[in-house]
């Protein structure tokens, strides 16, 4: 399906569960017996700033950082963040985008404007762009905070791991009171893809 190493980039804004999603994906790969390296940046994460994580998995992985143009999958929790981190994706990459728009501080302050059509811009450069309303599905599952589980469900369709392994790791990583909602959200995300 992929080369010896699978490169995943997760991106979004603080508070969306980007880092938890990347931790779940990394743990699934570890449980499946692969070598995993992970790198993340979450400077202004608490304040809605940009957050991203690189996850590399394979038989042997030497570096946690994905070179520009080498990601196989970009998992974006917000449209503008998908554009921001698109340079990491290879031309053949699968781009999974939550159709949510969160205005960054520069847009709110009037210093910049939000791009008119981020998805259209992505589709000009990538042929495998899949846009989903993960927030609506998370709400259907029981909580808007379960967007990350919806996106993980979608991602799970494209990685060679048993869905039960994903669910086991997800259940270990989320608080007990949120498990049922997150499992449902994962299932809704997994069902989305053709």
The ranges of the chain with pLDDT < 50 are: 1-2, 45, 194
Q: Of the candidates 54, 65, 73, 33, which has an alpha carbon nearest to the alpha carbon of residue 193? A: 73
pTM here is: 0.92
Which residues neighbour 32 within 8 Å (Cβ) at sequence distance 6 or greater? Answer: 161, 162, 165
Summarize pLDDT for 145-162 with one digit per residue, the tens: 999 999 999 999 999 999
Pick the CATH number of 5-192 from 3.40.920.10, 2.60.40.10, 2.40.128.20, 3.40.50.720: 3.40.920.10
What is the chain's alpha carbon radius of gyration, rounded to the nearest angstrom? Answer: 16
Cα separation of 151 and 153, whole Å?
Answer: 5
Cα separation of 141 and 163, whole Å?
Answer: 18
Summarize pLDDT for 30-55 with one digit per residue, the tens: 999 999 999 987 655 455 678 899 99
Three-class secondary structure of residue 52 per DSSP: strand
How is the chain split into domains, by residue range?
A: 5-192
């Amino acid at each position: 399906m992929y080369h010896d190493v699978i490169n995943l980039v997760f991106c979004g804004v603080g508070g969306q569960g980007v880092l938890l999603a990347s931790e779940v994906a990394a743990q699934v790969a570890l449980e499946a017996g692969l070598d995993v390296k992970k790198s993340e940046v979450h400077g202004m994460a608490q304040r809605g700033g940009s957050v991203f994580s690189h996850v590399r998995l394979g038989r042997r992985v030497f570096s946690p950082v994905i070179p520009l143009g080498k990601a196989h999958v970009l998992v974006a929790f917000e449209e503008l963040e998908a554009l921001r981190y698109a340079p990491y994706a290879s031309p053949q990459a699968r781009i999974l985008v939550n159709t949510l728009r969160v205005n960054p501080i520069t847009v709110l302050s009037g210093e910049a404007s939000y791009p008119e059509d981020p998805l259209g811009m992505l589709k000009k450069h990538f042929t495998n762009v899949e846009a989903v309303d993960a927030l609506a599905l998370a709400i259907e599952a029981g909580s808007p905070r379960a967007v990350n589980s919806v996106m993980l469900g979608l991602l799970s369709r494209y990685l060679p791991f048993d869905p039960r392994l994903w669910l086991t790791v997800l259940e270990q990583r989320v608080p007990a009171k949120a498990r049922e909602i997150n499992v449902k959200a994962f299932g809704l995300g997994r069902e989305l893809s053709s």
